[in-house]
Amino acid sequence: MAAMQVDGDFIADEPGQFDEHGMALSFFYYRNCDRASDYFLDEVGIGAEARRSINRSTYSATATLDVVEPVTRGTPLRFEITVSRIGGKSVGYRVTMLGAKDDRVRAVYDTVGVCMDMTGPTPMAIPDEVREKLSAFA
């Protein structure tokens, strides 16, 4: 299975992401995985760029997060994104948060995104060109 590689540290300095001991809070994991997802969704044609140019985007129908190992302030991160399922109107994908220096899994974020025609907004069939790009990460 091929994975999209994304370097991290998206929100390392935003307030409220770490406790007083420098340990990441839950929102830190969600927010970083969501930001990594943005790069992936733009790459396959159903992200913010497509929303601006052709009114096509995604809606996250479900999302689960499993924190495997805590992250402390200043930990360099990287992300791997893989596709677990391509349906008619939705795609399941996984974002794995890893330590950039040690490759240890820090968190796993699984989600299902529904392809949307944002002029409605209504669910739409995943276009063939998007399906082809998604397949590269399945």
**Model-level pTM?**
0.93
Residue boundaries of the structural domains of the chain: 4-135
Structure confidence at residue 14 as a pLDDT band (50, 70, 90): confident
Instruction: Encode pLDDT of 15-56 as tens digits.
Output: 889 999 999 999 999 999 999 999 999 999 999 999 999 999
User: Contacts for 49-56 with beta carbons within 8 Å, 24 or more apart?
Assistant: 51/118, 55/117, 55/118, 55/119, 56/115, 56/116, 56/117, 56/118, 56/124, 56/127
Q: Which CATH architecture has domain 4-135?
A: Roll (3.10)
The CA distance from 7 to 80, in Å, is 9
Residue 31 to residues 55, 79, 100: CA-CA distances in angstroms?
A: 24, 13, 17
Instruction: Encode pLDDT of 110-134 as tens digits.
Output: 999 999 999 988 999 999 999 999 9
